[in-house]
Structure 1
Amino acid sequence: MENRAKLELKLSHLVVRQDGNKIRKIYLKDISHIIVNTTEASITFALLNEIVKNKIKLIFCDEKRNPCAEISPFYSSYNTSEKIRSQIKWDEYIKGDVWQLIVKQKIKNQMNLLKLYEKDEYKMLEKYIDQVEFKDESNREGHAAKVYFNSLFGKDFSRSDDTNVNAALDYGYSILLASINRQVVSNGYITQIGIFHDNMFNQFNLSSDLIEPWRVIIDSYVYRNGSEIFDKEEKIDLINLLNDFVTIDGKLTRVNQAIDIYIRSVFDALNNRDLSLLRFPSYEL
């Protein structure tokens, strides 16, 4: 939603009323995400209630049109209490093994992207993959990130700079994170207790772990798009990346659904102490 609008519920449909009496109706069962990209919108409580019931991720943006908050249901699984108890008891050894494989997959994806764009630094990342240890104790992830971003965006690039590139990366990552948060909660777990991330001020420690193999989708778009501008059109493109296709578990699947398959596989691996259950995506960049 980009402009002044009223969002309401009518017969299981989201109804959007905009200036000039323009009306759009969308069946709620067909929606996975709603992004309110303006502070000039109103929404009825009846619609909010149905959004929660249908496990739709609702994201609000601030006055700069950047995602600032989201709504998720408290109880999305009939056995949420059991799931959370198991999450608290996840064994440190299996968590370390799972994190090692997540980091390896992340660096592999970064390597493939550099190779695609004919960056010689991909060879260094190829070496890092084999050097990733249990719990990534030697921080190959951090070393790879520095090489990777400097190769894509220049030697002077820093993720802390106030640039269009970082604004686009942050926006895209926040969309991915919101999708992952939705799937974590839908599966009955909580986002605060992570596998590796353990920041007391981070509400999304677990999602911050799970997002890592997916970041390259955003990186690839931002690299191709350049750094001249970052506005409404680019934000819409980043949101629509959730509708792209990836291959996971031998099937071509939209990103949004593939994230659910991936997250379920991580939970299965952790709960059953079986790394063979992990399913990672592969995609055409």
Structure 2
Amino acid sequence: MSWRVVVIESQSKLDYKMGYLVVRGLETKRVLLDEIAVLLIENPAVSMTGVLIAALTEKKIKVIFCDAKRNPIAELVPHHGCHDSSAKIRSQIAWEQTVKDSIWRDIVSEKIRKQADFLLEIGCSEQARMLSGYTEQIELADTTNREGHAAKVYFNALFGMEFTRSADIAINAALNYGYSMILSAFNREISAKGYLTQLGIFHNNMFNHFNLSSDLMEPFRILVDRLVYQMQPVEFDTEEKHEMWRIMDQKVSIDGQSQFVMNAIKIYTKSVLDAINDGDASLIKFYGML
């Protein structure tokens, strides 16, 4: 099972040899590819061999590239996720709208439920009750936008009444960075299963290449919120970014087992896709906190 997040911080050359990622910098280090879930290239001066890129793609390892400010700007996505991707894409295009609306309602309900649970943990019982009430009001496709109403109450409870998600502050930078990590993990799993990330069940922005990933990741955003609430960053630089990667190392409960977040995303993603294809929302396997 892949579980490691490998971060390349300094100028180096990355190569492949006998199943290992070989990092040639001031020192030469090796990491077994089968252990790697995510390879984060933080330094634009890093070079990679073609044979390594091919091996990373074959192993379905998520590779994320950063700019000079160490912010993620691109990722490696294979052209073909699995052997029957053409059939998967045809079925994805034909997904029924009523089924998509039902699945989205359940995903939004679970997201708000997790937000309410977190608020209750930190002593915001009144706001938690408000969010619990919203879960009972969610309609198909969340036509009354309970998600948006819950988000305002939720973030104001976490970070203060003056807080807005549009403010240029360290907390928002940390949230955005963490969400991009989670999004990349979903991109990997959706592509690996042969589906298109562009075709969502609710999100349908023509400029968003990851509409389906944006849909599925919603209940996992709370993992990011928890860590940022604990950190309360006043600045967001390299040290804080590395701290955010702790999210992928933690364990959650899913399908009756304790799993690393990366594997929980894999299990959950498959369950949602199965639920849509079978028209049965009860197949969705949501995670729980340990």
- Confirm or deny a common fold (TM above 0.5): yes
Correspondence 1:59-78 to 2 at 5 A? 59-78=64-83
* Distance in 2 (alpha carbons) for counterparts of 1:261 and 1:11: 29
TM-score with structure 1 setting the length: 0.97
Kindly provide the amino acid, as one letter, of the partner of residue 176 in structure 1: I
* Distance in 2 (alpha carbons) for counterparts of 1:240 and 1:150: 25
- The number of residues matched between the two structures is 282
SS of the residue corresponding to residue 288 of structure 2 reads coil
Q: CA deviation at 1:237?
A: 2.1
For residue 22 of structure 2, what is the aligned residue in structure 1?
15
Instruction: State the superposition RMSD in angstroms.
Output: 0.9
1:218 correspondence with 2:224: yes
1:6 correspondence with 2:4: no
Kindly provide the amino acid, as one letter, of the partner of residue 115 in structure 1: L
For residue 136 of structure 1, what is the aligned residue in structure 2?
142
1:203 correspondence with 2:209: yes
Q: Determine which of 277, 282, 287 is the counterpart of 1:271.
A: 277
Q: Determine which of 233, 251, 255 is the counterpart of 1:249.
A: 255
Kindly provide the amino acid, as one letter, of the partner of residue 142 in structure 2: D
1:167 correspondence with 2:173: yes
Q: Determine which of 25, 29, 36 is the counterpart of 2:30.
A: 25
Identity of aligned residues (%): 45
Kindly provide the amino acid, as one letter, of the partner of residue 260 in structure 2: R
SS of the residue corresponding to residue 131 of structure 1 reads coil
For residue 95 of structure 1, what is the aligned residue in structure 2?
100
SS of the residue corresponding to residue 32 of structure 1 reads strand
Kindly provide the amino acid, as one letter, of the partner of residue 96 in structure 2: D
For residue 57 of structure 1, what is the aligned residue in structure 2?
62
TM-score with structure 2 setting the length: 0.95
* Distance in 2 (alpha carbons) for counterparts of 1:275 and 1:140: 19
* Distance in 1 (alpha carbons) for counterparts of 2:257 and 2:13: 39
1:35 correspondence with 2:40: yes
Kindly provide the amino acid, as one letter, of the partner of residue 218 in structure 2: E
For residue 237 of structure 1, what is the aligned residue in structure 2?
243
SS of the residue corresponding to residue 87 of structure 1 reads helix
Q: Determine which of 83, 86, 89 is the counterpart of 1:84.
A: 89
Q: CA deviation at 1:5?
A: 1.3
Q: CA deviation at 1:231?
A: 2.0
Correspondence 1:105-120 to 2 at 5 A? 105-119=110-124, 120=126
Consecutive unaligned residues in structure 2, runs of 5 or more? 1-7
Deviates more, 1:205-214 or 1:67-76: 67-76
* Distance in 2 (alpha carbons) for counterparts of 1:143 and 1:211: 19
Q: CA deviation at 1:4?
A: 1.2
1:106-158: CA deviations, max 9, x gaps? 00011011111111311110111101111000000000001101111111111
Kindly provide the amino acid, as one letter, of the partner of residue 5 in structure 1: S
SS of the residue corresponding to residue 245 of structure 2 reads helix
Q: Determine which of 19, 37, 45 is the counterpart of 2:50.
A: 45
Q: CA deviation at 1:278?
A: 0.8
Consecutive unaligned residues in structure 1, runs of 5 or more? none
Kindly provide the amino acid, as one letter, of the partner of residue 191 in structure 1: T
* Distance in 2 (alpha carbons) for counterparts of 1:229 and 1:67: 17
Which consecutive segments of 4 or more residues in structure 1 shift more than 3 A? none
Kindly provide the amino acid, as one letter, of the partner of residue 34 in structure 2: K
* Distance in 2 (alpha carbons) for counterparts of 1:36 and 1:148: 33
SS of the residue corresponding to residue 258 of structure 2 reads strand
SS of the residue corresponding to residue 83 of structure 2 reads coil
1:16-69: CA deviations, max 9, x gaps? 1123xx111011111111000111211111111111111111000111111110
